[in-house]
Structure 1
Amino acid sequence: MTPPARKDAPWLFRTYAGHSTAEKSNALYRANLARGQTGLSVAFDLPTQTGYDSDHVLARGEVGKVGVPVCHLGDMRALFQGIPLDQMNTSMTINATAPWLLALYIAVAEEQGADIAALQGTVQNDIIKEYLSRGTYICPPKASLRLITDVAAYTAEHLPKWNPMNVCSYHLQEAGATPEQELAYALATAI
């Protein structure tokens, strides 16, 4: 258990953002942090969300459009260049590729000399929501559930300040679920 938050501590402010390249996103993040933002919320582009490299034929026209493209460790390094990850609270709104992108984030933190147990943040990691509503899943449900639980198990053991999942039911309603179905699927996923 972590100690309760101090009532006089500043709130966590994270702007959901990702630019056309890792370098441009880094500049945006650093500017926002200099203006008083207290954490980061990374928006990834659609190819990154679905596990495609930027040069893949299916990624054409989508690279860097709705967020930052991250294809490899070099992109993740550029994304967080000069940002001490052990002093950040980083949210990554990513689902199907959450295990892989979290691994890249941890690798960059280790390269920075960080104790990974000090890392704070969240990966959305709601792969079932992707399967049911957005169609941006990579693996079928059984394998997706395994990936979700693997991330939770890893973070519980190695990243105690990390939230391994952020259940997001909004997309279910957008895909046609009733409010009751939305709640039922969200709770089932969380459990």
Structure 2
Amino acid sequence: MTEFDKIKEDMEEWKTAFPNNKERQKSFRNLSDIEIKRIYTPNDIKQLNYGLDLGFPGQFPFTRGAYPNMFRGQLWTMRQFAGFGSAEQTNSRYKFLIEHGQTGLSVAFS
């Protein structure tokens, strides 16, 4: 029996061991409308090509983040977009924020 077969067998046993643990809704979906399974195992990624599909942080395909050290090297950031009147007013606001310690700005051009 392979490790994957053993995991599949153990998962079936796990499911039957807790028949009365009902979930609060029939299915769970993410914002892309993909169903979220109750539990994920190595069987869900056995076809994964580590280098092409996952990789290391800071390297292609960037699924683990854009920076090699991510939050270990810098704090988490929250980014928000908000309009601020005219282009001149927006420019003035950005300069004000930078002068008062803002270290990053996210700009969306429309």
TM-score, normalised on structure 2? 0.30
Q: Pick 1 or 2: higher relative contact order, CA cutoff 8 A, min separation 6.
A: 1
Largest Rg, 1 or 2: 2
